[in-house]
Amino acid sequence: MLSFNTFVNRQFKISLIFLFLALFFGILYSINLLGYSINSTTLLPSNIRSLHISLILYGFVPLMLSYLPFLIINKDGVQSEKGLHYLNLYTIFWYIFLVFMISSLLFGNTRGLAFYDFPYELNFILAIAGVFYIIALYKYIKAYEIIPLWIKVCLWVVVIAPFALLILMNPVIGQVESTISGPHGDNTLGMSLALIPIYYLIIKLLNVGTFKARWNILWIIPTIFYFGSVLYRTFVGHLTYDQEWFFQWLTFLYIPILYRWYKDAQIETFAQKALLISILAFLFVDVEGNILFIPEFRWLFHRNDLIVAHAHVAMGIGVFFMVIAMFVSYVKELKKLSFYILYLSGLLGIFTVLSISGFIEANVIHGNIDFLWALRSMFGVLTFSSLFTFISCKFELTNLQKYNLFGVLADGLGGVFLILLASFIYPLLGFSFTGTYEYIVFAFVSTTGIIHYFALRYKEHEQILTKITVTTRVIISSVFFALFYNKTLGIEALMISLFDVTFASIFLLFFYKENFLCQK
């Protein structure tokens, strides 16, 4: 049976792939802003920007945060095999959503929004994932003799969440399109309010022994006013700037309560430092956000690089280090100081240069924005490099493992490379490119690379998975040969056919014989 600790460690590292992609597309977009771009259908700056933001908002960070109730349940010593099964299904469907989202945005299926830019229909996949999340939580709850109050609250929240998601994100009756302009003081209050219970639960998870929260009136007051503002905006009309300003400044009440909770908690060293980084980032963003809400400042810096810098601290440090604090005891790589140094140096560098750029754009100071943007790209690469802390390389490989590793590089990465760049490379090589069936072929190529990866990863299934790749290659090779021979496709079809049949033949000549003799 898969243990909860093993499951969490595995999903943490798998989901890092989406953080890897988010940072990668962020660097590409940063380079695009410097004026360097290529004529690729899938790598248009608008697509890349949407991919970067959407992967940050829907990828690694929110998925890992959603594990928080189950981490606390595990701390309580409560186990449920069925609950873990449904939690795994929830995670898989979230991954399916992310794959659909990436494909949709790569091919330009955007809604023209600053956030939530992917097609609305994909929210139904998230809603299905939410159903499995509810079932998983319910299965774990059944294992309790006395159900804690916080779990009852979580259950009600997650039961409502899938329905709220489909309503709020709906382009006709939802709130997304209707709240993309204006001061949004109540929205800011709502976003900050959403983080307060998460901080409470994280401290509850990390605290040695039982944690008792104090000064609760400081979150109760903003909560009452926030829901009052939502009801007013829904049934009465728009809020005035002064009204929203009042709601915005209510977020100052979160500063003393986070200080009180942090001081009252007893937490292991690395987790304590990660949590402190998160809280300091949250408090900085809260203070800076309230200052930027002053009308004279707001319109001066509205939508310039200072606001982008602000968002990097909020999400890239504040919320990100929430996750780091949660998983320190589960992922040994999170206790490597090099990760923190590289990541924070990169993010703080991005924040600094974008803040200076924001003042230049507002004509407060003078300077070279292009130079600052170049530094932003360099700091992005530094942040990106911190993720290599989680990669461990195994250099002692058998010949068959080397064969599968080459398959991962040639097909897995090669397929992705073609999806991103084929519309640019094909015309350079003199090949025709329609931008239709080719992408389906590239997807098959990438899938073959994934099968090679599984053969490399799971030794017990190595032979059968490798044989599947061989069979796939022979079939695809034969089809491309036929299409070349009847002149439906050009020389590129013959090249693909020769590559696949050669790759398959290498296995049959050198590895299949060895396997056959061993079995005999």
CB atoms within 10 A of CB 502: 11
The pTM (predicted TM-score) of the whole model is: 0.88
Per-residue 3-state assignment (H helix, E strand, C coil) for 75-91: HCCCCCHHHHHHHHHHH
Note whether 324 and 339 are within 8 A (CB).
no
Whole-number pLDDT of residue 185: 62
What amino acid occupies position 157? V
To which residue do tokens 């050009």 refer? 490
What are the C-alpha distances in Å from 54 to residues 19, 60, 61, 114, 117?
A: 11, 11, 11, 10, 7
CA 81 – CA 194 distance, rounded (Å) = 30
The distance of Cα 150 from the centroid of its chain, to the nearest Å, equals 27
Q: How far is residue 16's CA from residue 306's CA, in Å, rounded to a whole number?
A: 27
Q: What is the pLDDT along the chain (520 residues), one digit of tens a residue?
A: 578 999 999 999 999 999 999 999 999 999 999 988 888 888 899 899 999 999 999 999 999 999 999 999 999 888 889 999 999 999 999 999 999 999 999 998 888 777 778 888 898 999 999 999 999 999 998 888 777 777 877 778 777 877 777 776 766 666 555 554 445 565 677 777 788 889 999 999 999 878 888 898 998 998 898 888 878 877 887 778 888 888 888 888 999 999 999 999 888 888 999 999 999 999 998 888 888 878 788 778 877 898 899 889 999 999 999 999 999 989 988 988 889 999 999 999 999 999 999 999 988 899 899 999 999 999 999 999 999 988 776 667 888 988 999 999 999 999 999 999 888 888 888 888 888 888 888 998 999 999 999 998 888 899 999 999 999 999 999 999 998 999 888 888 899 999 999 999 999 888 876 554 455 4
Which token pair is 299?
A: 């319109």
- pLDDT, residue 231, reads 82
Tell me which DSSP letter residue 239 carries: P
Phi, psi of 118 (to 5 degrees): -80, 165
Residues 6+ apart with CB under 8 A from 9: 330, 331
- Sequence-distant (≥ 6) Cβ neighbours of residue 499 within 8 angstroms: none
| Unique residue bearing structure tokens 């929210």 | 123
From CA 20, how far away is CA 262, in angstroms rounded? 31
**Angle between helical axes of 437-457 and 462-485 (0-180°, round to 10):** 160
Separation CA 338–CA 269 (nearest Å)? 16
Number of H helices, E strands in the chain: 23, 0
A 10 A CB-CB count for 67 gives 24
- Determine the Cα–Cα distance for residues 357 and 372; give it in Å rounded to an integer: 7
Buried b (16+ CB within 10 A) or exposed e, 19-50: bbbbbbbbbbbbbbbeeeeeebbbbbeebbbb
Give the length of the chain: 520
Q: Phi and psi for 423 in degrees, rounded to 5?
A: -65, -20
What is the per-residue pLDDT for 180? Answer: 45
Contacts of 355 (CB under 8 A, 6+ apart): 305, 306, 309
C-beta of residue 318 within 8 angstroms of C-beta of residue 196: no
What pLDDT, on a 0 to 100 scale, did the predictor assign at position 238? 78
pLDDT value at residue 182: 47
Assess contact for 433 and 426: CB atoms under 8 A.
yes
For the record, the structure tokens of 216 come out as 């609760």
- Report yes or no: 330 and 8 within 8 Å, Cβ to Cβ: yes
DSSP H or E segment with residue 341: helix 337-361
- Complete DSSP assignment for 251-295: GGGHHHHHHHHHHH----HHHHHHHHHHHHHHHHHHHHHHHHTSH
Amino acid at 440: I
- CB-CB contact of 510 with 519 (8 Å): no
d(C-alpha 424, C-alpha 442), whole Å: 14
pLDDT at 317: 94
Give the pLDDT confidence score for residue 7 in this predicted structure.
93
For 362-413, where are the alpha helices, taking DSSP H only? 369-385, 399-407
Q: How many CB atoms lie within 10 A of CB 467?
A: 17
Structure confidence at residue 181 (pLDDT): 47
Using CA atoms, how far residue 23 sits from 26, 119, 461, in Å, is 5, 22, 33
* pLDDT score at 96: 96
